[in-house]
Chains A and B, each alone.
Chain A
């Protein structure tokens, strides 16, 4: 069994869900025009991913294999609805900006992917750590992409002016293709520099 440290650390860089496994790209494109929406989205996903991993892991001996997808979906959907309702109740403005994308966590491949690939085979503690690690890996990329896009696109960070006042925003960064390009560049950077250590380790 892998150590707790490895379970958490792996998905942060070397096995990052977005830049290495290419999962959850859709929301990474949609909610990353501003840092604060990206942060709220990250928190929502962390909540869903950790709890769904734990629940499914706890139920793993009870779930019949043939209908496991449906059971997993029920668990995930319940958690997503809770997250969505909490956001609507306490952070209405941001919830409006995130629009359907909180609801779409249900279809986020990372959540389903971790349930299938990890939670069904491992105990509750490891599953929780795995969920946390992957959620953090997702959040790092999401916030990084959002920071770059908001900085270059609108000249602000968290809504605070971060560029000279004369800076004219790069509108491509505000459009979804901007996120594609930024994510691609991050992947390029990751594979050039960070995975060098990975190759040497092996």
Chain B
């Protein structure tokens, strides 16, 4: 370790201003601060002494994502083997097969997105931002495992460049970059994102439908009148426990409620994810579902609220996407309003809009756009109360 440090200090002048590799400074800086404590310290103004910086925050989120990723890997292999071999091939074989499917997607996402990050960091001469550590992993997890790799590359390019860099980079983006990337693919290549490539087995030929995930959503979306949605789901093999366990077709990281719950616990315990937003989305989801239960006239609207919790991509979206500190509302009251509306809009899109099976992506992107407005009014109301 000491040797490496000495090497770093020796070559540092090469990358400083005026040095030979000046243009590559962001690359050196990223490697340097990733391995060692940075040399820079805050120079002026009040500063807080704390061990946590952007890197630690992002690494914690990546850690919280591990169960979703591992479960997604197993599930991708599991579904693949069921669809192609007729039955599961045992735990180890399923994981191996899943890793072969999922790892290239994650690798593509990191490589291509990382390339754009470095490019922008070098031209604009700022540090390489750690935010991409999370975006690069979140994005593959909301894709179906059947997505072609070139689409992953195109999608992540769009997410990083249009979703983030045009606004000025990490911390300036209006929209969540991972969801922007996904929205791009969703509207550009709907055929692949609702995938019919290998899992056409579950639920009567309806395949993985992306973030909107689960075939289970497709089952309830097209119910004839006077059929109970719960009965229909159970008949299709989706009772509540199956949905929550998540050994079903869907996007890579979103199917298991428990893995998402683990992420939620980690994020809340470390204080990185906002528990207000997560709880508020839940309230919004339940409120929306209950309203439809009382007043809705289609049979889908009779689906009990706790089913909406386990079905589709809600849990993953609420825990990892809605809580993105940059694009979410920042004020305390604002977080409650923002989260509540995310949950509520998910229900509206799911039940009332026949064009989209799942509303999680659309609801969060929509509320991302509204978040500054919410914050603005919350602050304004606060000032008015104080001056009155």
Contacts and interface: CB of A to CB of B under 8 A. Distances in A.
Query: Which 3 interchain pairs have the tightest Cβ spacing?
Result: A172-B188, A170-B188, A172-B187
Interface string A154-172: 0000000000000010111
B21 interface: no
A177 B188 CA distance: 11
B166 A188 contact: yes
Interface in A163-200: 168, 170-173, 175, 177, 181, 184, 188
B159 to A, nearest CB: 13
17 contacts: A168-B189, A168-B191, A170-B188, A170-B189, A171-B187, A171-B188, A171-B189, A171-B190, A172-B184, A172-B187, A172-B188, A173-B188, A175-B187, A177-B187, A181-B162, A184-B166, A188-B166
Nearest to A181: B162
Nearest to A175: B187
Contacts, number: 17
Interface residues of A, number: 10
A170 B191 CA distance: 11
A23 to B, nearest CB: 22
Interface string B319-335: 00000000000000000
Interface residues on B, range: under 10
Nearest to A172: B188
A171 B186 CA distance: 9
Interface string A92-104: 0000000000000
Given A172-B188, A175-B187, A177-B187, 14 more contacts: A168-B189, A168-B191, A170-B188, A170-B189, A171-B187, A171-B188, A171-B189, A171-B190, A172-B184, A172-B187, A173-B188, A181-B162, A184-B166, A188-B166
B186 to A, nearest CB: 9
Contacts of A171: 187-190
A181 B157 CA distance: 14
Contacts of B187: 171-172, 175, 177
Contacts of B190: 171
Interface string B156-191: 000000100010000000000000000010011111
